[in-house]
Structure 1
Amino acid sequence: MSNSFVELSNVRLRYSEGDDLALDTTDMKIRKGEFVAVVGPSGCGKSSLLKLVSGLMPPSDGTVIVDGHEVAGPLKIVGMAFQNPTLLPWRTTLDNVLLPLEIVKPHRNRLRQHKAEYVARAKALLATVGLAGYEDKFPWELSGGMQQRASLCRALIHEPDLLMLDEPFAALDAFTREELWDILQNLWMVRPFTVMLVTHDLREAAYLADTVYVMSKRPGRILVARDNTLPRPRDQETTFTQPFIDLVHELRSHIRDVRAA
C-alpha cells in the first residue's frame, strides 16, 4: 500500500478524441502535508495536472489516487486559488471568503445554524493575512494583493486537505508577491495541508516547495523531481544565500534543456 496522499500512475490526457496528448505517461507521488511546485514551459500541462488531481477532469489513461481513493469526480477536500482572484464583485470580502461554505458539504448543511462560528473563523483567517478591518469592503475597494489574500482565505476557509494553486501571484508586483510567499508559508506551517503550486517563477518554487517537479514540453511528462532541503521557515534573506541561488540556477538549467529539446 502506497503512503502517498496524491499519486498519479501512467496518466495520459487528451482533451477530446483525436487531439494530441496534453500529458503523456505522467507519474507523481505527493506525501500528505507536502508542499510541491510544478514548473515547466508554457503549454506543458501544468494546469491540467491540477484539474486531474482535483477531479475536474478525468485522465484518458492511467489512475489518479487521492487519500487512498481513485478520483472519480470533483473532490470536496480541495481548495483552489488562481492567477486572477475571481472574487464576486457584489459580495464583501467576508462574504466572498464564506462562499465555499455555502457549497461544500458538510459545511453548507451547518452554515445557517452555525453562522457565527463560521464568520469568526473567516475573520480570524483574514486577520492572519493582514485583512482585519477589510471584511466589509468590496473587491474594487481592495488592491490586487489584498484581493489575492482574500482569495487565499476563500480557498482555505473550509480547511481543505489539498490546496491547488495555479500561478496565484503571477499578476502581482515583486514586493507584494514575496510578501504573499511568507503569508502562504506561515499558513501552511500552522496547519500543513498538502499543496500543489503551478508557477513560472523559479524563485517562488525554490522558496515555497519541499519538492519541485520539472515538466517536459507538450505532451507533458515529469522529467525531474528535485528535493528542496533549504531549512524552514524561509525568509527573504534565504533568497540571497548560495544554496538558494544554486537551486534556482539548477531549475533554470533544467528548463533551458527542456526548451532546447
Structure 2
Amino acid sequence: MTHLVFIDDVDMRYGGADGTLAVSGLTMRVEKGDFAAVVGPSGCGKSTLMKLVTGLHIPQAGTVIVAGQHVTKPVSIVGMAFQNPTMLPWRTTLENILLPLEIVEKHRHRLRAHRKDYVAQAENLLELVGLKGFGAKYPWQLSGGMQQRANLCRALIHQPDLLMLDEPFGALDAFTREELWCVIRDLHAAQGVTIILVTHDLREASFLADKIFVMSARPGRIVREHRVPFARPRDLDLMYEKEFNDLVHQLHGEIATARMAA
C-alpha cells in the first residue's frame, strides 16, 4: 500500500524558540484508503497534527509528506470538517456545499461552464447522506445533525484525496452522533477517500477506524498504534460485543496513563 500521509520525527513549537512545544518526535503513516483515528489526552497536539497535515503549520523539525509532496504550504487535496459546521446563513444548503469549488483552483476555473455537473454531484452527495431534496433549504432551516451532514458534503465536493475530521460529531446528541457514524462509514465505503478523524470519543474511533493512533500528553507523539480487528461493513450492534468494549477500555487505560505521565 502507498503512504498518503507520511510524518517523520516532527517537532512543532508555538511562540518562537522559547514557546510551547506542541508535538515532539511525532511519527505516523496513513495509507491511501485508510480510515485512521487519532485519540489522546486534552492538549496533546491532535489539532496541531491536523494543521501539520493540511499545511496550515510548517514544522520546525522533521518531515511531512502528503500525496508524495513535501508540505510547505496549504494542501489543496484535503477536505475538512469541524465540530461547528459554519454554514453561511445567506446561502442555501446547495450553495454552501458548492463553496469550496469557488476556492480550489482546479475547480474555480471550471465552475461557471460546468455548474450543472457540479450541482448534480452535490445533489448526489446530499442523497448519500440522507438529505435528498434539502438543497434549497437555508442552514437555519436544518437541525444540527442535518447541518453536519451538509458539512460532510461540502468537505467532499471537490473530490479530495484526504478528508480530515476534527471532532465533527462532538456537539450532537448520542442518537444523532451514531446516525452520522453510519453516514461517514458509508461515505468511506462508497468514495474510497482516505480519512483521518481526531476525536475524544473512543467508541467512535473504534467503530469507524481501521487504525487508531494514541498520542502522549504534550508534547505530543504517537505512543501506540492499534489495528482495529473488526471486519467491514460494521453495524452499531458491534458496540455491544465484548471484543469491542475490550478495545475501548484498553484505549481508555492508555490515555489515562499518558495523562498521568504528563
TM-score, normalized by the shorter chain, greater than 0.5: yes
Measure how far apart 1:194 and its partner are.
1.0
2:180 aligns to what?
Answer: 180
Structure 2: unaligned runs, 5 residues or longer: none
Structural mapping, 1:67-82, within 5 Å: 67-82=67-82
- The AA in structure 1 aligned to 2:134 is Y
1:14 aligns to what?
Answer: 13
Q: Distance in 1 between matches of 2:102 and 2:166?
A: 23
- The AA in structure 1 aligned to 2:199 is T
1:63 aligns to what?
Answer: 63
List, as ranges, runs of 4+ consecutive aligned residues in structure 1 with deviation greater than 2 Å.
none
Measure how far apart 1:5 and its partner are.
1.3
Q: Distance in 1 between matches of 2:80 and 2:100?
A: 10
Measure how far apart 1:130 and its partner are.
1.0
Say if 2:147 is the partner of 1:147.
yes
- The C-alpha deviation readout for 1:144-182, integer Å capped at 9, x for no partner, is 000000000000011100000000000000000000000
1:122 aligns to what?
Answer: 122
1:240 aligns to what?
Answer: 240
Structural mapping, 1:72-111, within 5 Å: 72-111=72-111
TM-score (norm 1): 0.98
1:33 aligns to what?
Answer: 33
Measure how far apart 1:260 and its partner are.
1.7
Measure how far apart 1:246 and its partner are.
0.9
Measure how far apart 1:15 and its partner are.
1.6
Measure how far apart 1:3 and its partner are.
3.4
Q: Distance in 1 between matches of 2:237 and 2:28?
A: 31
- The AA in structure 1 aligned to 2:202 is L
TM-score (norm 2): 0.97
- The AA in structure 1 aligned to 2:115 is K
Q: Distance in 2 between matches of 1:42 and 1:259?
A: 9
Q: Distance in 2 between matches of 1:77 and 1:132?
A: 26
Measure how far apart 1:192 and its partner are.
1.4
Go from structure 1 to structure 2 and tell me whether the alpha carbon gap of 1:92 and 1:68 turns closer, same or farther (over 3 Å shift): same
Measure how far apart 1:244 and its partner are.
0.8
Q: Distance in 1 between matches of 2:176 and 2:233?
A: 19
Identical counterparts, % of pairs: 58
Measure how far apart 1:132 and its partner are.
1.1
Structure 1: unaligned runs, 5 residues or longer: none
Q: Distance in 2 between matches of 1:235 and 1:102?
A: 37
Q: Distance in 2 between matches of 1:188 and 1:113?
A: 29
- The AA in structure 2 aligned to 1:222 is I
- How many equivalent residue pairs? 260
Q: Distance in 1 between matches of 2:20 and 2:151?
A: 34
1:162 aligns to what?
Answer: 162
RMSD: 0.9
Q: Secondary structure at the match of 1:164?
A: strand
Q: Distance in 2 between matches of 1:125 and 1:4?
A: 27
1:208 aligns to what?
Answer: 208
Measure how far apart 1:106 and its partner are.
1.0
Q: Distance in 2 between matches of 1:159 and 1:180?
A: 20
Q: Distance in 1 between matches of 2:49 and 2:241?
A: 31
